Structure 1
Amino acid sequence: MSEYILHPDAQFPLPADIEAEVYGSAFGVRAYLPADTASIPDDVWAGASGLVCYHEVAVTAAVMDRMPKCRVVVRAGVGFDNIDLRAAAERGIAVCNTPDYGTTDVADHAIALTLAFLRGITFYNRAIEADPLAGWRFDTAPSVRRLSTQTFGVVGLGRIGTATALRAKALGMRVIFFDPYKPTGTELAVGLERCATLDDLLAAADIVSLHTPLTEETRHIMNAATFAKMKPEAILINTGRGPSVDLDALADALLSGHVAAAGLDVLEQEPPSPDSKLIAAWRAPDSPIRDRLVLTPHAAFYSPSSLIDLRRKSAVVALGYLQEGDSRDLVNRDLLDQAAAARRRA
């Protein structure tokens, strides 16, 4: 088959059978595992009509220059900060994402991390494992609280933020949110309380849950200054984008006790360096934050069902764009229009 779609960092055991089923006789599929991405031959890059990538490939201008036949890049996931949208548009390449996969799974994970602290789950388990007799105590967990006394703050009320907020509300928590890009009245539609500024949310929330895309505005949105504005002994949850949190500043906030706990599914560097300030403090003998930090390996999206959904949906988006020349999940439409207008003027 002469035309094919390249999957350079597949997050599943090969072969790419689900993708091949979606593409049918229209396109072939070339799939590689992340460990093999660097060794993909030049002619395979050059012959690809489309690219479907996860988070382990940076789709830069240089990468796109290796793909003269490429018409679409699809991010198998929600965030697309690993793709240079402007460089793609300048080359006439559409960029799409798959925003409707994993919404419920990530929301469930954010709530699970929250409950792990509010109900002391990880602490109790570790204490009993260490000493079944001395650890059999209910009054030693540092962050157990009645849910109905807690204010749950959502930063970014997109699909996943909304799903998380509604779960927190169903559990009896007061739910507030900050999202300057949501129109007036959103709070009425979903029955939540709106904060005018991030500072207002940080001052009121017992739990701060991050659900923003990664932009220059949101990079290190949680830093030394914003941690200082949180309520004393508040809890941070991040299932959004790793670089939204300055991990050195978080280490300081946890060590000082100003932040009670943090549950992180995403980090700036994945996997984390054992030598990073946060990881080193967490793993140190007799660490004061051992039971106040829970890490999961960028797994919030994952269930067997969600991975199947993601594979199928991203393939459907790629095929749809290649066959129809458009997609409702196109994220660089304005840039494509601007680049096309510039070419016409030239």
Structure 2
Amino acid sequence: MPSLHCAVECRPFVFCLGTGKGMGLRILWPRTGRDHSVEEEEVGDAATCEFARGFDQVSDEQWRNCDAIVGVAPPSEYLDRLDKCRIVVKTAVGFDEVDLDGYGSRGIPVCNTPDYGTREVADHAIALMMTLVKSIAFHDEALRKEPVANWRPALNPYGRRLSACTFGVVGLGRIGTTAIRRAQAFDMDCVFYDPYQPNGVELALNLRRARSLEELMGQCDVVSIHTPLNDETRGLIGREALAAAKKGIIVINTARGPIIDIDALHDALKDDTVLAAGLDVLPDEPANMNAPLVAAWHRGEEWIKNRVIITPHSAFFTPESVRDIRAFSTRTALRYLQGGRLENCVNGEYLVNAR
């Protein structure tokens, strides 16, 4: 294991680690926790690791002389300090808040870490679906109130035989593919909409393909959202898409909150176009209690009770996935610094004269 050293210019809570042949390279984690064991193990002697507990705890010298940044991408006001930085690796899948153009114009590739929680998020999407279609939350709450009087085995207000249902995915990337494979295991009829997938992918995966979002929404009993958030997908599941939906559809979102117009979803639940929704993500996080859907859910209004399940953007989390994201992001930085291998770059269209 690398030994602990104090850097000359470190401020409080900034730690530098690393020994041996890699001391010429410096990797900075500007906002991290107390445990650095995973990062140290991945780096070994290949570089010096520098850890800070916040952007304001990083010295000017460290900003100017780091070769890579891993973790939360520094905001735009820090960009002009990155004199030597050759790569930024974000320890997350999403990158909608990152100044991709700003980094790219300075020759700094920005990479995400898309493969750390694929199974966890897909599992969560299926778990939300199962909780709703088997009325698990409904029965749990009812039995807690009246364990004897509410012992009603034959009551399942949202019950579906899964093998008689159509499961649709919007966005057939890593997570969408993993989720739809799980749905196939329940013998569900599976269909996807993704205009960016090449022709024939449906044959390779034994799926049906919808050629428009409206076509998908009109046939699904359950639709699960798995697209990135960008200008094209913001508000994608809005009034138009919901108006085209099969009556009684269940909507699952484990991607990004703003992909769904939450006010339109509220109205579609209210008029029973949407039977239920499982949301791990919201447009505002933590939840905006003034949003009509969130307010009605929080108050337990009769019309929405047990029809909406909200979890706190926790789909990705297991101890294994957290270790993976730390390890995978570190490897991405090292591979580029040591051999020029660029993986998972998300600002290629803006990248000018990569460092």
TM-score higher than 0.5 here? yes
Question: Cα deviation per residue 1:175-214 (whole Å; 9 max; x = unaligned)?
Answer: 0000101111111000000001010000001111001111
Q: Could you tell me how far apart the structure 2 residues matched to 1:38 and 1:290 are? A: 44
Output the TM-score relative to the length of structure 2: 0.87
1:19 aligns with 39
Report 1:205-216 matches (<5 A).
Answer: 205-216=220-231
Letter in 2 for 1:245: I
**Structure 1 residue identity aligned to 2:180:** A
Q: CA RMSD in A?
A: 2.1
Q: Which has more helix, going by share of residues?
A: 1
Deviation digits for residues 308-343 of structure 1 (CA, Å, limit 9, x no counterpart)? 11110011111111222232322333432xx239xx
Contact kept, 8 Å, 1:3 with 1:47, in 2: the verdict is no
Indicate the residue corresponding to 2:70 in structure 1.
52
Q: Which residue of 2 aligns with 1:30?
A: 50
TM-score (norm 1): 0.89
Aligned length: 333
Query: Is the CA contact 1:20–1:28 (under 8 Å) kept in the aligned structure 2?
Result: no
Matches within 5 A, 1:172-251: 172-251=187-266
Partner in structure 2 of residue 101 of structure 1: 116
SS at match of 2:218: helix
Are the structure 2 counterparts of residues 15 and 190 from structure 1 closer, same or farther at C-alpha, using a change threshold of 3 Å?
same
1:277 Cα offset (Å): 2.0
Please say which structure displays the higher CA radius of gyration. Answer: 2
**Secondary structure class of the residue paired with 1:88:** helix
Secondary structure of the equivalent of 1:290?
coil
Structure 2, unpaired ranges of 5+: 1-22
1:2 to partner: Cα distance: 7.0
Structure 2 CA distance, aligned partners of 1:42 and 1:279? 43
**Structure 1 range deviating more: 305-314 or 39-48:** 39-48
Alignment of 1:1-346 (within 5 A): 3-10=25-32, 13-32=33-52, 36-37=54-55, 40-54=58-72, 59-336=74-351, 339-340=352-353
List gaps (5 residues or longer) in structure 1. 342-346
| Greater CA drift, 280-289 or 306-315 | 280-289
Q: 1:131–1:260: structure 2 CA closer, same or farther, 3 Å change rule?
A: same
Task: Name the CA distance, whole Å, in 1 between partners of 2:211 and 2:332.
Answer: 36
What CA distance in whole angstroms lies between the structure 1 residues aligned with 2:183 and 2:106?
44
Structure 1 residue 260: deviation in Å? 0.9
Report the AA paired with residue 52 of structure 1: V
For residues 282-307 of structure 1, give each alpha carbon's deviation from its aligned partner in whole angstroms, at most 9, with x where no partner exists.
01154421301111111111111111
The answer to whether the 8 Å contact 1:16/1:29 transfers is no
1:344 is aligned to: none
Which range moves more in the overlay, 321-330 or 102-111? Answer: 321-330
**SS of alignment partner, residue 74 of structure 1:** strand
| 1:262 Cα offset (Å) | 0.8
1:340 match: secondary structure: coil
CA distance in 1, matches of 2:345, 2:296: 42
Secondary structure of 2:278's partner? strand
Q: Deviations over 1:95-125 (max 9, x none)?
A: 1122222111111111111111111111111
The amino acid across from 1:7 in the alignment is W
Q: Deviations over 1:35-70 (max 9, x none)?
A: x4455554443443222224xx5x443232232222
CA deviations on 1:226-281 (whole Å, 9 max, x unpaired) are: 11211111011011122111112222222222211111111222111223222111
- Give, in whole Å, the separation in 2 of the partners of 1:94 and 1:300: 28
Is 1:227–1:250's contact at 8 Å kept on the other side of the alignment?
yes
**Maintained 8 Å contact 2:332/2:343:** no
CA distance in 1 between counterparts of 2:276 and 2:46 reads: 50
The letter for the 2-side match of 1:103 is T
Paired with 1:15 and 1:100, the residues of 2 have a C-alpha distance of 22
1:126-170 C-alpha deviation (Å, 9 max, x unpaired) = 111122122211344321111011100100111111111111011
